[in-house]
């Protein structure tokens, strides 16, 4: 019988040695495992840990009430007899059609005919800092609105969604032809192979333009695939000179100047919101606390068509979002960093979250580390000393959890489908149906022969509930 209290005290006493003497880690960890460790929470009083997923991690709440005027949102849109209030400077960045209406009808409400109230609300939530994601239902709502109002940025976002979304081939080709999504059309043509079988029956084929029918015919008969179109935005050429829409100069710390609409930038940055609405009245020239690279990444990320954030550009965008105090960009970048599938190490994600003071999301980031050895390797990184005390303390908390219950991997319960981590292992004898939670059972019976048994991982629920099954030596 293991003395749980003494074992837990010994584990905690050894944690300091593990962190401060990494070369001795493997020997200490092996000793801790051989002597047995208490389950998570047995000594410290904390409940068994469940790994945090991006949907469960703390998030930055951003909400805009378009049904009432607030600050710069004073221009009313009348849709189906209901009013929505927007900032005319903001919507002018997205739609030249709406901008022309605002110029032609100053200080009057804009009447949007032949559209639905819910659809306009969906559009506003997608283009504003609320940054609402596009899904397989909203994309069919947004495409007609974006096309009618000439919103190239919103069309680009819909196009990016359709490129990565599974739809029938002819359906994608028809959408690309109908809404002039040339990048999507080129990718569809590149996927085709000569003499491939395509179902040409149905209304979608007959609705295609003659130009696209010719492209399909030539591609089927061996014509070379068209060149892939680069994804916009390519540069900030339109922001390098002053215009009626972009009339204020914004200068980086290095002296580089871009011309922007200050009211649009203020919607994304608390720093400029304070300067424009609560500071001096002069908005002709503004100074930015970012480097040129960060300012360029920030402007490309907030202006339509909005640069798609990925592993290559997330660093400068996140730092610019922190310096410019942009909750929308911080939330977007943090959500990406907490996605397991992106090609960034946990230490890089941890460093970025720490540098931007997103400490509440660090535990969710560290929950991706499943082995103590990997956490110790993070302490040997060259930039480990650059981490804050709070980030290193969170690493220590994660290490204590992993040492309390090494080897317990997250799994899905067969009964309730919940994704969690077991708090212990219960072995069941297939003959007498006797249960045992002795941690030394598998090691003691490994050398003995016997019939196959069944093991079950005890997850959320009653002590004898089973969530996983595998064959092990029977209990003697």
Q: What pLDDT is attached to residue 225?
A: 82
The whole-angstrom separation of Cα 176 and Cα 172 is: 6
For tokens 């801790």, what's the residue? Answer: 32
pLDDT digits (tens, 9 = 90+) for 321-369: 999 999 999 999 999 999 988 999 999 999 999 999 999 999 999 999 9
Q: What pLDDT is attached to residue 426?
A: 61
The answer to whether 68 and 85 are in contact (CB under 8 A) is yes
Residue 32 CA, distance from chain mean position: 37
The answer to whether 34 and 240 are in contact (CB under 8 A) is no
Q: What pLDDT is attached to residue 60?
A: 78
The whole-angstrom separation of Cα 73 and Cα 67 is: 10
**What are the phi and psi torsion angles at 46 (to 5°)?**
-85, 150
Q: What pLDDT is attached to residue 419?
A: 64
Instruction: List the chain residues with pLDDT less than 50.
Output: 1-51, 54-55, 442-443, 445-476
The whole-angstrom separation of Cα 93 and Cα 72 is: 15
Q: What pLDDT is attached to residue 196?
A: 77
């Amino acid at each position: 019988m293991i003395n749980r209290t003494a074992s837990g005290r010994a584990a905690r006493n050894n944690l300091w040695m593990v962190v401060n003497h990494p070369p001795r880690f493997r020997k200490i960890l092996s000793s801790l495992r051989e002597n047995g460790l208490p389950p998570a929470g047995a000594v410290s009083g904390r409940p068994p840990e469940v790994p945090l997923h991006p949907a469960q991690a703390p998030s930055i709440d951003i909400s805009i009430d378009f049904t009432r005027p607030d600050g710069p949102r004073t221009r009313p849109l009348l849709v189906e007899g209901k009013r929505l209030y927007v900032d005319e400077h903001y919507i002018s960045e997205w739609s030249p059609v709406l901008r022309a209406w605002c110029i032609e009808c100053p200080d009057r409400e804009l009447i949007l005919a032949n559209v639905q109230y819910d659809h306009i609300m969906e559009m506003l939530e997608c283009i504003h800092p609320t940054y609402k994601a596009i899904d397989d239902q909203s994309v069919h709502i947004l495409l007609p609105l974006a096309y009618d109002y000439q919103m190239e940025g919103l069309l680009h976002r819909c196009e990016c969604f359709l490129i990565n979304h599974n739809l029938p081939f002819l359906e994608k080709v028809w959408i690309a032809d109908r809404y002039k999504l040339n990048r999507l059309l080129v990718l569809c043509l590149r996927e085709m192979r000569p003499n491939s079988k395509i179902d040409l029956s149905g209304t979608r084929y007959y609705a295609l333009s003659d130009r696209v029918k010719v492209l399909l015919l030539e591609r089927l008969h061996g014509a070379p695939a068209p060149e892939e179109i680069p994804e916009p935005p390519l540069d900030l050429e339109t922001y390098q000179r002053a215009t009626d829409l972009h009339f204020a100069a914004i200068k980086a710390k290095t002296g580089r100047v871009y011309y922007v609409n200050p009211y649009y930038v203020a919607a994304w940055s608390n720093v400029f919101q304070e300067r424009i609405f609560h500071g001096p009245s002069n908005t002709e020239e503004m100074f930015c606390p970012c480097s040129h690279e960060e300012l360029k990444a920030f402007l490309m990320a907030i202006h339509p068509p909005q640069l798609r954030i990925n592993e290559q550009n997330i660093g400068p965008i996140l730092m610019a979002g922190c310096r410019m105090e942009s909750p929308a960009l911080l939330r977007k970048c943090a959500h990406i960093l907490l996605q397991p599938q992106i090609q960034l190490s946990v230490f890089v994600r941890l460093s970025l979250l720490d540098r931007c003071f997103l400490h509440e999301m660090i535990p969710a980031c560290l929950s991706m580390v499943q082995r103590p050895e990997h956490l110790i390797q993070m302490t040997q990184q060259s930039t480990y000393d650059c981490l804050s005390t709070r980030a290193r303390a969170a690493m220590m908390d994660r290490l204590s959890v992993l040492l309390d219950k090494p080897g317990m991997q997250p799994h899905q319960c067969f009964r309730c489908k919940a994704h969690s981590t077991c708090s212990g292992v219960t072995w069941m004898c297939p003959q007498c149906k006797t249960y045992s939670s002795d941690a030394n059972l598998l090691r003691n019976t490994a050398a003995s022969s016997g019939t196959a048994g069944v093991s079950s991982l005890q997850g959320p629920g009653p002590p004898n509930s089973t969530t996983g099954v595998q064959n092990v030596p029977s209990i003697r």
